[in-house]
């Protein structure tokens, strides 16, 4: 999938949602598109950048869902969960914990990292390979692998 394909897919799905009068999907896709256009007015950027923008939006939705659930508003949380499901359609599938640990060990071996001082290099490489992975979880896995 190249840049035009992901951005074009968002635009095509936006038009489809308009035709189907699917208000919720339309609103979510408009938000995704506006976030992309905010960074680059034409939307012509590397796919990895678009994925970062979309994954940041997904992370914000997850945090909102947690906060709303803490306040006991299950109905509002359900609406946000539906929005999150739509956003996740445009993200690559997340890597499982075991696969991620194996990839981290391979990257550590490839870089020759041996101490916690090498954590920055390892993190940069892991985040480049797995842009949608949870930074906190990756950080903890890298720290454990380097100790």
126 with 84, same domain: the answer is: no
Containing domain of residue 7, as a range?
3-88
Report pLDDT for 1. Answer: 42
Report pLDDT for 113. Answer: 79
Report pLDDT for 34. Answer: 93
Packed helices 119-129 and 97-111: angle between N→C axes, nearest 10 degrees: 130
Q: What is the largest CA-CA distance in the chain?
A: 56
Q: Please list the rounded mean pLDDT of every run of 10 residues in the chain (147 residues).
A: 70 94 94 91 82 88 93 91 92 77 84 81 81 77 83
Report pLDDT for 3. Answer: 45
127 with 65, same domain: the answer is: no
Report pLDDT for 64. Answer: 94
80 with 60, same domain: the answer is: yes
Q: Exposed (0-12), middle (13-18) or buried (19+): which is 71, by Cβ within 10 Å? A: exposed
> Measuring CA to CA, which residue among 109, 58, 107 is closest to residue 84?
58
């Amino acid at each position: 999938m190249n840049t035009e394909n992901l951005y074009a897919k968002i635009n095509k799905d936006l038009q489809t949602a308009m035709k189907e009068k699917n208000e919720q999907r339309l609103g979510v896709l408009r938000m995704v598109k506006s976030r992309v256009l905010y960074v680059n007015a034409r939307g012509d950027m590397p796919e990895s950048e678009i994925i970062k923008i979309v994954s940041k939006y997904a992370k914000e939705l997850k945090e909102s869902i947690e906060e709303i659930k803490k306040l006991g508003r299950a109905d509002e949380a359900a609406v946000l969960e539906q929005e999150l499901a739509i956003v996740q359609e445009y993200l690559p599938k997340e890597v499982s914990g075991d696969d991620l640990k194996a990839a981290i060990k391979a990257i550590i071996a490839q870089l020759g990292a041996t101490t916690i001082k090498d954590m920055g290099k390892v993190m940069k490489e892991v985040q480049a390979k797995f842009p949608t992975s949870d930074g906190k979880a990756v950080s903890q896995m890298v720290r454990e692998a380097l100790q």
